[in-house]
Structure 1
Amino acid sequence: MDAGSHSISSGKNSAAVQRPPLQEAGSRPYMPPLSTTSRNPSAKCYGDRFIPDRSAMDMDLAHYLLTETKKDKENAAALAASPSKEAYRRLLAEKLLNNRTRILAFRNKPPEPENVLAAGTVSSHQAKPVKQRRYIPQSAERTLDAPDLVDDYYLNLMDWGSSNVLSIALGDTMYLWDASSGSTSELVTVEEDNGPITSVSWAPDGRHLAIGLNSSDIQLWDTSSNRLLRTLKGVHESRVGSLAWNNNILTTGGMDGRIVNNDVRIRDHAVQTYQGHSQEVCGLKWSGSGQQLASGGNDNLLHIWDVSMASSMPSAGRNQWLHRLEDHTAAVKALAWCPFQSNLLATGGGGSDRCIKFWNTHTGACLNSVDTGSQVCALLWNKNERELLSSHGFTQNQLTLWKYPSMVKMAELTGHTSRVLFMAQSPDGCTVASAAADETLRFWNVFGTPEVAKPAPKTSHTGMFNSFNHIR
């Protein structure tokens, strides 16, 4: 179990200052307390001068440390060479106090490295050009207001589509933010009996949007015409917290523990059911090839489902997981398939686990596990470099960039004052949007610009929704 609330409320506070959503945070009257944004709350600021506080100094202790022999392991060997206190003082005066010219003294410029072995002979071991380290901005490029964002770890309330439009659910309302123009529009506000919105996912065409509701319904929208195309009912018995597309298949995960494949082109849309979780399914991700599905649940389980296994079973894939992985000790929500290795999956655990784990999904082997020290809310791979970005909850509420496979920290991005529940990546892979319980949406230029822009493959999705008019 993870420390996320199952109780649903839109988070509205009538006493709070009402402000328009997805507006620049700098233009709003509401601002979070400055003290909560400090990177070092214990640090004191004394202005531009350092004024020593002698009352906080222990002069006797300082004198003892300079004159007495210490017995700790690190310094015992070095101080053993000093026969007495008098010898130590004499050595100190001789080498340091009476020879101040050695401190920060200018010296001749070191000689240039020789690039040739002999005249006219170039070394056979040419030094490889060192790749310049990418500059990673430490602050958000843009911050927008996101009032009424539901603070629930198990939901998935933000997605960035291939047409460069970001969708985010704020309470009962779905908003669309066009990254190209910076404009915001309201797609729909669901009825109070059906809300709040609990999940959102763009179809591959970047035009159609799936919305999961607290009432268990799933809505399919055409965002180009702001038209509701279809409502899928009876798929789940309770709220739909996770969604994932695989071409024309919309996979839904519910609080009832069920995972259902829905073919949106046909009337009887529920074509496949996976049953392996005993609690809410809070993470769903299809692999890039569309052959494997990863699911994470509040039962601390991670399942890998294979299309070939499910399609060959007459029981519609029921209970036929490829791998059932029980290594996490908290809810598994954060899932990310590696873009440069098709069988590599990264997963993150909740507050009682705090680990990022890497899996070979062909064999089910855990390749590595890294304790991050805090709740892992979301994971994203860099599409251009071997890097992984994680977002976290208590206690730092930060985004951490890792170098893969060494898992050395490259950067820690701070600014959010509550747990960073959701992340989404721009279509070009460079910008990351993060939404947190502090009701702000921040954009980070964390992944840089690719050296060579690869043209997006042209894929036709026109046949996905062409039969909605007669199957409503």
Structure 2
Amino acid sequence: MRLKFTGGDSNEWDNMRRMLRDFVGKRRHCSFKGQNDAHHASYKRFRRRIIQRSSSEGPAASTPLSTGRQCEPGFEFDAVCQRLELDSPQRPHEPAQRGLEGNKEATLGGGGSHRSAVTPPNTPLIIPARGRPVTENALEQGWVWTAALQRHGIAQQTGSDDDIRSDLQPFAPLNKASVSLQGKSVLKLAAPSLLNDYYSNLLDCSCNGMIALALGSSVYLWNSETRALVGHFDPSPQPGRLCRQTLSSISSLCWSRDGRALCIGTRRGEIWLWDVEHKQNMRCLPSHLSVVRALSWKQQLFSSGSVLGHIHHHDPRAPAALVGAAVQQEGLCSLQWSPGNEWLGSGSTDGLLRIWDSDIAGSHQPITTMKQPSAVKAMGWCPWQRKMIATGGGCKDRELRVWDTRSGTCVTSVDTNSQICSLRWADKKRRLVTGHGLPHHHVICWDWEFPSLSSSYHLTGHSHRVLHLALNPDGTQIFSAGADQCVHIWDM
């Protein structure tokens, strides 16, 4: 007979197993029927005690999970966000709903009730796609920083951009640095495994000129001043934990305004805070139940938006970081605080641009709503006219628009004849930069003299759509990352 032990201390169960083996060995060598009956009765009592003890204690996970990196003193997960859901479909034998009604995210509504059952702190987090409980410590798996190795020489590229091999090192030069020419990139770098996702936000530049680029489940840092790769960090699961790519595939990232912290959103709904100065992970917030598509900082606070349309406001200094929330009916694909922190703009997949006030704990209704024919993914506030915001249209629209958020009207628009995937304002140059998809895959610099927009540069070099844009602090260089797995640097 074989017993399966599912609870209790491992040392205790080892002792019980040894006792059971000794007992069975003695029973086999017994030749008297009466003694066999007595041993059988003792064995039944022994087995009954094991079963009773197992049923009185909570079952252990089928695969032991080591504790890994412990939480910092005073750290607590927000009780509103104790359960996580995988984006993958559920298995047939699992219930359709688990913990949260209708798989909706928890929200904090003014005067409303929570739509989630608050889970006690010690309750395991149920992950349906894996069918096993995962404790809070499993989320605090930690990140590992790896400094870059200095590599000399230029990678040789042959053929078209489609032939770029995935074994190239991130930020490896693909051409020699050239003198800036209008319409030509100064430097072309490799970005292997860059996710070809229109709705992701995987590139950002800090106020110190540090470029952050997410490739799969890793984030690479590149110094735009020295033009050198600084290093990369990625999650480091221990044996018995979930797959790293499943757990932490990155969908968005954003630098804090002082350039000291990097906020990272994953496809599992977690938000990680990384202390770049000390090269260590500060916190993991299991905030959303779906893909975190956009992040934006407001001084010491930051906001996150998910594919389910939920906007969460976080204060990472507080034990319970979730300090406010709002919800929109459509999936969220862009989110940005205005330069003066007065308003928050959010764009939806249904083409709605909403403007929210700065009271994150107060009213949860937008003050202005505007409509365009396609998803509002490319979006950005004008730094020098702070009530103006620009948006770009997708394949069905292709219009570049500038909106007056006070009146909710479009003050100017231009047909770009191309899908607009990304958008950035250059404050010091007083220009607007857009990254495009089909059919041209180029970058356009726009001069804006209110209210008219006119194109000044067309930068070509990408062979697929330009998904992400970033600018260095003084606005003299443009960084573009495309679906061709290349990063281009342009002089403005």
| 2:478 partner letter | V
Counterpart for residue 422 of structure 2: 378
Change (3 A) 1:34 1:346: closer
Aligned to 1:154: 199
1:214 aligns with 2:267: yes
Provide the residue aligned with 1:268 in structure 2: 320
| Corresponding letter in the other structure for 1:300 | G
Equivalent position of 1:251 in the other structure: 303
Q: Which consecutive residues of structure 2, in runs of 5 or more, have no partner in the other structure?
A: 1-86, 89-147, 164-179, 237-243
Alignment of 1:293-332 (within 5 A): 293-308=344-359, 310-311=360-361, 313=362, 317-318=363-364, 320-326=365-371, 328-332=372-376
Does structure 1 conserve the Cα–Cα contact (< 8 Å) formed by 2:370 and 2:409? no
Instruction: Indicate conservation of the 8 Å contact 1:236/1:254, yes or no.
Output: yes
Residue 482 of structure 2 aligns with an amino acid whose one-letter code is: A
How far apart are the structure 1 equivalents of 2:317 and 2:250?
A: 23
TM-score by length of 2: 0.62
- Match of residue 283 from structure 2: 230
Once the two structures are TM-superposed, the CA of residue 263 in structure 1 deviates from its matched residue by 1.0
Does 2:216 correspond to 1:171?
A: yes
CA contact (8 A) 1:161 1:427 kept: yes
SS in 1 for 2:207: coil
Q: In the TM superposition, what are the counterparts of 1:360-375 in structure 2 within 5 Å?
A: 360-375=404-419
For the residues of structure 2 that align with 1:22 and 1:240, how far apart are their CA atoms?
A: 31
User: 1:419 corresponds to which residue?
Assistant: 465
The 5 Å alignment of 1:91-110 reads: none
Compared CA separation, residues 332 and 192, structure 1 to 2 (3 A):
same
Report the counterpart of residue 435 of structure 2 in structure 1. Answer: 391
**Alignment-derived partner of residue 289 in structure 1:** 340
Measured after TM superposition, the shift of residue 24 of structure 1 is 9.8
Cα distance change on mapping 1:307 and 1:425 into 2, 3 Å: same
Partner Cα separation in structure 1 for residue 430 and residue 412 of structure 2 = 15
1:277-316 Cα distance to aligned partner (Å, 9 max, x none): 422x1111111110101111112111111115x55x3xxx
SS of 2:386's partner is coil
State the shift of 1:178 in Å.
1.3
Q: Percent identity?
A: 34
What SS does structure 1 have at the residue aligned with 2:221?
strand
Task: Provide Cα deviations, 1:177-219, integer angstroms capped at 9, x if missing partner.
Answer: 0122222101224612213211111111211111101111000
- CA deviation vs aligned residue, 1:242-284 (integer Å, no higher than 9, x gap): 10000111100111111111111101111111212422x1111
Deviation at 1:23, TM superposition (A): 9.9
Match of 1:192 among 237, 245, 270: 245
The answer on whether the counterparts of 1:338 and 1:344 sit within 8 Å (CA) in structure 2 is yes
Deviation at 1:321, TM superposition (A): 0.1
Within 5 Å, give how 1:52-131 maps onto structure 2.
none
| 1:336 aligns with one of 358, 373, 380 | 380
C-alpha distance in structure 1 between counterparts of 2:312 and 2:149, whole Å? 33
Q: Deviations over 1:406-434 (max 9, x none)?
A: 32221100000000000011111211100
Distance across 1 between alignment mates of 2:216 and 2:235: 9
CA distance in 2, matches of 1:23, 1:330: 44
- Superposition deviation, residue 353 in structure 1: 1.3
| One-letter code aligned to 1:408 | S
Aligned-residue offset at 1:389: 1.2
Counterpart secondary structure, 1:193: helix
Instruction: Tell me, yes or no, if the aligned pair for 1:25 and 1:145 is still in contact at 8 Å.
Output: no
Contact map agreement 1:22 1:146 (CA 8 A) in 2: no
Alpha-carbon spacing, 1:438–1:25, altered in 2? closer, same or farther (3 Å):
farther
CA distance in 1, matches of 2:152, 2:441: 18
Q: Which amino acid aligns with 1:442?
A: H
The answer to which of 364-373 and 155-164 deviates more is 364-373
Out of 28, 34, 46, the residue aligned to residue 155 of structure 2 is: 28
SS of equivalent to 2:214: strand
Change in 2 beyond 3 A, CA 1:35/1:205: closer
Provide Cα deviations, 1:373-404, integer angstroms capped at 9, x if missing partner.
Answer: 11111112221233211110011000011221
Q: Is the 8 A contact 2:162 2:484 kept in 1?
A: no
- SS at structure 1 position matched to 2:251: strand
Q: Structure 1, residues 90-111: CA drift from partner, whole Å, max 9, x if none?
A: xxxxxxxxxxxxxxxxxxxxxx
Whether the 8 Å contact between 1:157 and 1:169 is mirrored in structure 2 is yes
Q: Which residue of structure 1 lines up, in the alignment, with residue 291 of structure 2? A: 239
2: distance between equivalents of 1:402 and 1:24?
A: 37
Q: Secondary structure at the match of 2:246?
A: coil
Q: Residue 336 of structure 1 contacts residue 380 of structure 1 at CA under 8 Å; is this kept in 2?
A: yes
Runs of 5+ unmatched residues, structure 1: 1-5, 8-20, 37-134, 447-472
1:136/1:411 contact within 8 Å kept: no
Cα distance in structure 2, aligned partners of 1:220 and 1:176: 15
Residue 182 of structure 2 corresponds to residue 137 of structure 1: yes
Count matched residues: 324
